[in-house]
Structure 1
Amino acid sequence: MFKSLPNSLFWKISALLLGILLILSFIFILILGKTAFQFSEEADQHLNKEVATHIAAEISAFPIDSIDQNQLEHIFHSAMILHPAIEIYFLDTAGQVLNYSAPDSLIKKKQIDLIPVKEILNSNDTYYKKSTDPRHPDQAKIFSAAPINKNGKLSGYVYVVLTGQKYAEARNEILDRYIFNIASNTLPILIIIALAIGLLAIYALTNSHRKVISAVKRFQNGDFNGRIDIKSNGEMKDLAQTFNEMAAEIQKNIKAIQSMEQSRRELVANVSHDLKTPIATIKGFAETLVLKKHELNSEQQQKYIHTILKNTSQLKTLVDQLFQLSKLEANEVEAIIEPFSMSELLQDNLLKYKMISKEKDIVMQSKVPTDLPMAIGDVGLIDRALQNLLDNAIKFTPEGGRIHLEAFSTKDKIMVKVADTGHGIPQDKLNVIFERYKKGTETSGEGSGGIGLGLDIVKKILELHQSKIAVTNGPEKGAVFSFELPQYTARI
């Protein structure tokens, strides 16, 4: 818990909590002081609300404007013995001060606001009202008031300020000491308890945060199996789930990159091997022609030249395949989708490869209806895919074998099949036949080998057409490659 540096989330939230508690404590002291002061005043006003009534009863027998000063002083003295904190004033019906218990020099205002006085006199409920303090006009004070009636007619008011100067000073001193005791004794204990509870709550809340940081650091340090395990609900669980999904995707991409890197190495090795053979052959026969041109007869020279041309053709085919595959992988090839005659395309390739197959004593057969519907696709790319499949079939079909080209329509598709009578494909190799850079000897039984780019190009071309290339072993051994394209339907 305490191993983290002060800039961790736990300590930041803890410092924020402490600051909030101190601010709330200050606000609490202010509210407590104001509330205690108001409570004291309200209690005093409630307990002494009858003071003015008793004084009014004593002087009700005298006219308010002709009271003998000695009698008045006697009334003041008697009342202030019982209530030393009060100040007494006699008002006329307009609120003008006529007589009072304080020296003249202390009276600053002789007009009393009668609105609060009348509100109190007209209310039977518990009240809390303030009105004018003649000695301190800027301060409203609690009071007690009573009417003075003469012959059933209102002749004035007794107005008693309940918190005189000395009382107010004593009360404020006691109240300040009371609040200070709370602030210095009780409040720190409450702050400590609240802070302790808050720290425990923060620690529990930030536990998920620490799990997230720990998992991210593990992932950063190379542990790609690191995941966040949060069982509670809420935003942190959503964050953990998002991170876990992201980590799984990154791990998947890393494995894909590693696989691509391995394939790249295999490609470099296989291309180097396949380039080395024709180049060495070309170089060897060319050197022989140069060094022994006078010793070789015309037939031998033609044989050597034919071998050089054959290996040059193989070299060109390999370079063309590499170039085509690189463009397909870089998405630089854009399929131009349009209707075309699959029947004509198949017949053209059949005529072209009959000449090639005759050299190997391979029979080319076809089953293509003349009324085959038109297909939808890029005719140039599909032609390239067909040529790769036919090249592959001739490559792995022995002399005396057959290659069968078939096409037919289904409900809304046109299916094309290229079958041969070669050695077929081992059952355990069918699932890797289209994996890039697999050597032909690994996927096609006995044959001439090669890095297998032709089938990968076919796969890429058909992916551009949202289609797939499939392979199975035929009934007469050999392999059967098939794919399908959408059938064109003319709109009416």
Structure 2
Amino acid sequence: MQSYKIKGNLLFWKITGVFTVLLIVLGIVFVIIASHFSKTYYTDANQKLYGDIAGHLATVTQPFKNGKPDKAVTHDIIHSTMVANPSVEVYLLNPEGVIVDYVVPDTTVHMNKVDMDKVHAWLNGEGKRPLGDNPKQPDELSIFSVAPVYENGTLSGYVYAVLASTKQKEILKSLNGQFYLRLGSYSFFMALVVAFIVGVAIFYLMTNSISKVTATVKRFKEGDYSARIEEHDRGDLGMLSTTFNEMADVIVDNFDKITATDKYRQELIANISHDLRTPLSIIQGYIETLMIKMDNLSEADREKYLDIMHDKTKKLSVLVDQLFQYAKLEANLVKPEKEPFLLNELVSDILMAYKFKAEEKSITLQLEAPQKLPTVFADIALTERVFQNLLDNAMKFTPEGGSIVIKLKESKSHVKVEIVDTGIGIAAEEITHIFERHKQLGKDRIAKKGMGIGLAIVKKILELHQTNIDVSSKVGEGSVFWFDLPIGQMVEA
């Protein structure tokens, strides 16, 4: 729980840091943009307001006389103009752009000539009017106004007026600190408001989605296993929704499997109890009979009863052994030790062991196999158990005079095994259940011989060998069981 809290706080501080950086960046960007547009606005405004001042002075004052500056006429008028508008500095230029007169102290003028290309460009009105030289500040261009002066149709010079003087810049510089402070404060406040609105909207959407997720998880916790989170297209919530829904599907599937397994175990216990109860009841009944009527029974009857009890005890021992084997297979405790061997030799030995039992029931046992059958790759002991269980099952349901044939056939990569009997057969509706230990088959079949768990063990063993067993049968005609085992050389290759 503490780790979740730390992660939650970390997420909070990450979001807080992102918003803080966003506010600072927005404030700086806003100040830069506002400053730029403020300067541009001021420049354009000066250009519009005082752009014709040079033309006015050139027309009204007649600053040149016989090609020379007329200081007596112009200084007073130009000085008055600069007093009325301190942002204007006026210069007189000759036709080549050399400064021939001005109304500023000589020590503050650092240029004696201006760039005439810019003057001509300004006069031609080519697009936006350019910035020109500022004689007081050679390294800085300024907005200006210019007008030619003619005498008797001859160009005498130019009136050149700088519209943004040094004094004006000093005043603006002193005001810039306060301006930027106020602008930064307002922009920061606006950015804060915008960020707050955006943050509230984002947090609302996040908390709303998280609330829905929480409600769905709570429903699932309280037993509504159909509850699922509405899918999101992308992002962490989308991954969370998908992960939870997949986890819920797995949990529900596991619940179903657990329920089915529990039902299976109940049926298995009931069937095992029935299988164990029958021979135990018979044994118990004969023991009680011997105890009660011991003195009244003949020697032949006593031997008969003892033979019956011995036979039932053997069957009970076999059943217990099968149950033990099946339990180990179910728990995956059996690991096959595979090796190549000749399957026809193993089957021959098994049939020899069943020969006496088959003769007692007049059942014919037969092996059909090619002379040069390749080796198979399997566990010898488990394979022997498969044949024993299949033969026990065939012997159990094959009447006297019947036959059981084991056929071995070679295919491309496997040896196919078929066990064919002429027994009572299996009904079509029961074939799919004969390998399931917890399923009960038809009453007539069970009443006749009983099924045991031999076929269930066969299926489990063959699954360990990555193969399956199949069956086909007709009632009254017999059954055919078949499966494949891999060829030894193929596996080695």
TM-score, normalised by the number of residues in structure 1: 0.68
Percent of paired sites with the same residue = 28
Structure 1: 5+ residue stretches without partners: 1-6
CA 251–311 in structure 1, closer or farther in 2 if over 3 Å, else same: same
Letter in 2 for 1:80: M
Q: Deviations over 1:61-114 (max 9, x none)?
A: 4998x986x656414334336745323467999x9999764679xx7x553597
Alignment of 1:142-161 (within 5 A): 142-144=142-144, 158=160, 160-161=162-163
Letter matched to residue 74 of structure 1: D
Q: Distance in 2 between matches of 1:331 and 1:100?
A: 111
| Separation in 2, partners of 1:182, 1:295 | 122
Q: 1:330 to 1:487 in 2, by over 3 A?
A: closer
For each residue in 1:142-165, what CA deviation from the matched residue of structure 2 results, as whole angstroms up to 9, or x when unmatched?
34276999xx99999956353564
8 Å Cα contact 1:341/1:375 also seen in 2: yes
2:472 matches 1:476: no
For 1:4, the equivalent position in structure 2 comes to none
Letter in 2 for 1:384: R
Following superposition of structure 1 onto structure 2, how do residues 421-432 of structure 1 map, counting pairs within 5 Å? 421-432=422-433
Amino acid at match of 2:405: L
Aligned amino acid, residue 39 of structure 1 = Y
> Structure 1 residues 119, 42: closer, same or farther in 2, change over 3 A?
farther
Cross-structure match for 1:111: 110
Instruction: Give the whole-Å Cα distance in 1 for the aligned partners of 2:271 and 2:405.
Output: 31
Given the alignment of the two structures, is residue 224 of structure 1 paired with residue 225 of structure 2, yes or no? yes
**Partner residue of 2:118 out of 114, 120, 137:** 120
Instruction: Say whether the 8 Å CA contact 1:91–1:99 is kept in structure 2.
Output: yes
Distance 1:130 1:271 in 2: 109
Quick one: which amino acid aligns to residue 386 of structure 2?
A
Shift in Å at residue 290 of structure 1? Answer: 10
| Structure 1 partner of 2:345 | 344
Alpha-carbon offset, residue 347 of structure 1: 2.4
Change (3 A) 1:445 1:297: closer
Aligned CA-pair RMSD: 6.0
* Structure 1 pair 436–237 and aligned structure 2 pair: CA distance change class (3 A): farther
Q: Which of 74, 78, 81 matches 1:79?
A: 81
Tell me: CA distance 1:75–1:246, structure 2 relative to 1, closer, same or farther (3 Å).
Answer: same
Aligned-partner SS, 1:434: coil
Structure 1 position 374, deviation (Å): 3.1
1:15–1:487 CA distance, 2 compared to 1 (3 A): closer
Instruction: Tell me the residue number matched to 1:322.
Output: 324
Q: Which amino acid aligns with 2:457?
A: I
Of 77-86 and 288-297, deviating more is 288-297
How much has 1:28 moved relative to structure 2? 3.5
Once the two structures are superposed, the pairs formed by residues 438-477 of structure 1 within 5 Å of their partners are 438-439=439-440, 444-449=445-450, 452-474=452-474, 476-477=476-477
> Counterpart in 2 of 1:41?
43
CA distance in 2, matches of 1:383, 1:277: 28
Q: 1:3 — aligned with what?
A: none
Superimposed CA distance per residue, residues 330-377 of structure 1 (whole angstroms, 9 cap, x where no aligned partner): 164135153x43333332222212222344x25133251443733633
Give structure 2 stretches of 5+ with no counterpart. 1-7
- CA shift in 2, pair 1:221/1:243, >3 Å: same
Give the deviation of 1:322 after TM superposition.
2.4
Q: 1:52 to 1:425 in 2, by over 3 A?
A: same
Residues 43 and 161 of structure 1: CA distance in aligned 2, closer, same or farther (over 3 Å): closer
Contact 1:423 1:446 in 2 (8 A): no
Q: Distance in 1 between matches of 2:362 and 2:45?
A: 120
- TM normalised by structure 2 equals 0.67
Corresponding pairs, count: 470
DSSP-derived class of the 1:480 partner: strand
Match of 2:391 in 1: 390
Q: Does 1:416 align with 2:420?
A: no
Please say if residues 369 and 408 of structure 1, whose CA atoms lie closer than 8 Å, have aligned partners that are also in contact: yes
Paired residue for 2:34, among 32, 49, 61?
32
Q: Distance between the aligned counterparts of 2:259 and 2:111, measured in 1?
A: 95
CA 1:455 to 1:207, structure 2 compared with 1: closer, same or farther past 3 Å?
A: farther
Q: 1:475 and 1:377 mapped to 2: Cα distance?
A: 35
How far apart are the structure 1 equivalents of 2:246 and 2:120? Answer: 75
Q: CA deviation at 1:388?
A: 1.0
Contact (CA 8 Å) 2:133, 2:140: kept in 1 or not?
yes
Q: For 1:253 and 1:22, how far apart are their aligned partners in 2?
A: 53
Secondary structure in 1 aligned to 2:484? Answer: strand
